[in-house]
């Protein structure tokens, strides 16, 4: 964490739980960033959609600039108490504080096949138990039938 004892998430300023993907962040922002990267989400800024493409961006040097698609980095302030956050701005804030999308493990990077991936583990318990029972040894299956 920060050398001064600051344990705030760099994205939302909630209590940080550690360094996730290269930046000090809370569990919620870590999970948001992981889902955004692994599911390849494309977010549209709600403010830009409402006001057209021209919005004010607050750059690191403190200057306000009206731009359509500025490539410079800007600071986005997100309040913890605010319940509705713009996902696009939150994702951009994650990137600007140093979260690295390459650090997110995706199924393609870890060579997880469909049987061992999320789909397999979210199937109904009965379906998983049937597969388990087929693989159990015959003695255990016979013992279970006697009871």
What is the pLDDT at residue 49? Answer: 72
In tens, the pLDDT along 95-133 reads 999 999 999 987 665 555 555 555 554 555 556 555 555
Asked if residue 104 lies in contact with residue 94, where contact means CB atoms within 8 angstroms, the answer is: no
- Assign 7 a pLDDT band (cuts: 50, 70, 90): confident
Which residues fall within 8 angstroms of residue 43, CB to CB, at 6 or more apart?
Answer: 36, 86, 87, 88, 91
CA angle 13, 18, 21 (to 5 degrees): 95
User: Token match 């360094």: residue?
Assistant: 19
What is the pLDDT at residue 47? Answer: 76
Asked if residue 127 lies in contact with residue 117, where contact means CB atoms within 8 angstroms, the answer is: no
Q: Which residue, 133, 126, 49, 139, is CA-closest to 87?
A: 49
Find the mean pLDDT for residues 29-35.
94
What is the pLDDT at residue 17? Answer: 93
How many contiguous H segments (helices) and E segments (strands) does the chain have? Answer: 7, 4
Domains parsed from the chain with CATH numbers: 18-105 (3.30.50.10)
* pLDDT, greater one: 86 or 141: 86
């Amino acid at each position: 964490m920060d050398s001064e004892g600051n344990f705030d998430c760099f994205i939302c300023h909630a209590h940080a739980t550690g360094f996730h993907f290269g930046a000090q962040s809370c569990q919620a922002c870590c999970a948001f960033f992981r889902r955004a990267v692994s599911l390849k989400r494309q977010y549209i800024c709600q403010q830009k959609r409402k006001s057209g493409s021209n919005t004010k961006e607050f750059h690191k040097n403190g200057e306000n600039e009206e731009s359509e698609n500025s490539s410079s980095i800007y600071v986005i302030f997100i309040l913890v108490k605010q319940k509705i956050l713009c996902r696009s701005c939150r994702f951009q804030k994650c990137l600007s504080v140093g979260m690295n999308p390459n650090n997110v493990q995706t199924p393609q990077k870890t060579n997880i096949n469909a049987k061992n991936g999320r789909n397999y583990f979210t199937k109904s318990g009965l379906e998983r138990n049937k597969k388990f029972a087929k693989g159990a040894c015959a003695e255990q299956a016979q013992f279970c039938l006697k009871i």
